[in-house]
Amino acid sequence: MSKTVQTVLVAALLSAHFILGLGAIRACSPTYDEPVHFAAGWSYLKADDYRYNTQDHPPFAKLWAALPLLFLSPSPALPIQHPYWEDIRRMQYPFSNIFLYHNRVDPEKMLNLGRAMILVLSCALGLMIFVFSRSMFGELSGILALASWCFLPAALANGTLVTTDTALALFFFSSIYLFKQMFSDALARKSAGLLNAVLFGVSLGLLFASKYSAVGVLPVLFLLMVYLYLKDPRAALAVAKEVLLASAVAFATLLIVYRFNDLGPYFFDGLKKVIAGINSGRSSFLLGNYSTEGWLYYFPVTFLLKTPVPLLAALALSVFFRPSWKRESVLFLLLPAAVFFCLCCVSKVQIGHRHILPVYPFLIVWVSGLAAGGVNKYLKYLFGLLVLLSALSAARIHPWYISYFNEFISSPDEGYKYLTDSNLDWGQGLKELGKYLKEENSGGIYFCYFGTGDPSYYGIRYVPIGFIDGISPPYTEKERTGDKVDFKAQPKTLFAISATNLQATYYADKNVFAFLKKAKPVKIAAHSIFIYDLTADPRLYEEFRRFTAGVNRKRDE
Q: Kindly report, residue by residue over 424-472, the tens digit of the pLDDT.
A: 999 999 999 999 999 999 999 999 999 999 999 999 999 999 999 999 8
Query: How far apart are alpha carbons 495 and 485 in whole angstroms?
Result: 13
Q: Where are the domains of the chain?
A: 3-395, 422-556
pLDDT at residue 557, rounded to an integer: 34
Residue 255 pLDDT class (50, 70, 90 cuts):
very high
Average model confidence (pLDDT) across the chain? 93
CA dihedral of 39, 162, 300, 527, whole degrees rounded to 10: 100
**DSSP single-letter state for residue 369:** G
Query: How far apart are alpha carbons 135 and 128 in whole angstroms?
Result: 11
Task: Check pLDDT > 70 for residue 375.
Answer: no
Task: Check pLDDT > 90 for residue 275.
Answer: no
Q: Output the pTM of the full model.
A: 0.95
pLDDT tens-digit readout, 381-419: 888 999 999 999 889 999 999 999 999 998 899 999 999
Cis status of the peptide bond prior to 83, with omega within 30 of 0: no
pLDDT tens-digit readout, 209-226: 999 999 999 999 999 999
Task: Check pLDDT > 70 for residue 285.
Answer: yes
pLDDT at residue 324, rounded to an integer: 64
* Mean pLDDT of the 501-528 span: 94
Query: How far apart are alpha carbons 278 and 293 in whole angstroms?
Result: 9
pLDDT at residue 472, rounded to an integer: 84
494: β partners: 533
pLDDT at residue 556, rounded to an integer: 34
The separation between the first and the last C-alpha atoms of the chain, rounded to the nearest angstrom, is 73
Task: Check pLDDT > 50 for residue 477.
Answer: yes
* Kind of pairing between the strands at 445-448 and 462-464: parallel
pLDDT at residue 189, rounded to an integer: 77
Chain centre to alpha carbon of residue 88: 24
pLDDT at residue 323, rounded to an integer: 62
Query: How far apart are alpha carbons 406 and 312 in whole angstroms?
Result: 10
Task: Check pLDDT > 50 for residue 554.
Answer: no
Q: Is the dihedral of CA 38, 39, 45, 48 positive or negative?
A: negative
pLDDT at residue 555, rounded to an integer: 37
pLDDT tens-digit readout, 71-87: 999 999 999 999 999 99
Where helices occur in 138-232 by DSSP H, the ranges are 139-150, 153-158, 165-187, 193-208, 217-231
pLDDT at residue 65, rounded to an integer: 98
Give the number of C-alpha atoms closer than 13 A to the C-alpha of residue 166, restricted to the C-beta side: 31
Query: How far apart are alpha carbons 65 and 116 in whole angstroms?
Result: 8
pLDDT tens-digit readout, 450-461: 999 999 999 999
Across the beta sheet with 494-498, what order do the strands follow? Answer: 462-464, 445-448, 494-498, 529-533, 523-525
* Mean pLDDT of the 331-358 span: 96
Task: Check pLDDT > 80 for residue 190.
Answer: no
Residues 6+ apart with CB under 8 A from 484: none
Query: What percent of the chain clears pLDDT 90, i.e. is strictly above it?
Result: 81
Residue 548 pLDDT class (50, 70, 90 cuts):
confident
Q: Which residue has the higher pLDDT, 480 or 418?
A: 418
pLDDT at residue 370, rounded to an integer: 87
pLDDT at residue 551, rounded to an integer: 54
Residue length, the chain?
Answer: 557
Give the number of C-alpha atoms closer than 13 A to the C-alpha of residue 531, restricted to the C-beta side: 22
pLDDT at residue 374, rounded to an integer: 61
pLDDT at residue 547, rounded to an integer: 86
pLDDT at residue 327, rounded to an integer: 85
* Mean pLDDT of the 362-369 span: 94
Task: Check pLDDT > 50 for residue 525.
Answer: yes
Task: Check pLDDT > 90 for residue 373.
Answer: no
Beta strands in 458-520 (DSSP E): 462-464, 494-498
455 within 8 A of 430, measured Cβ to Cβ: yes
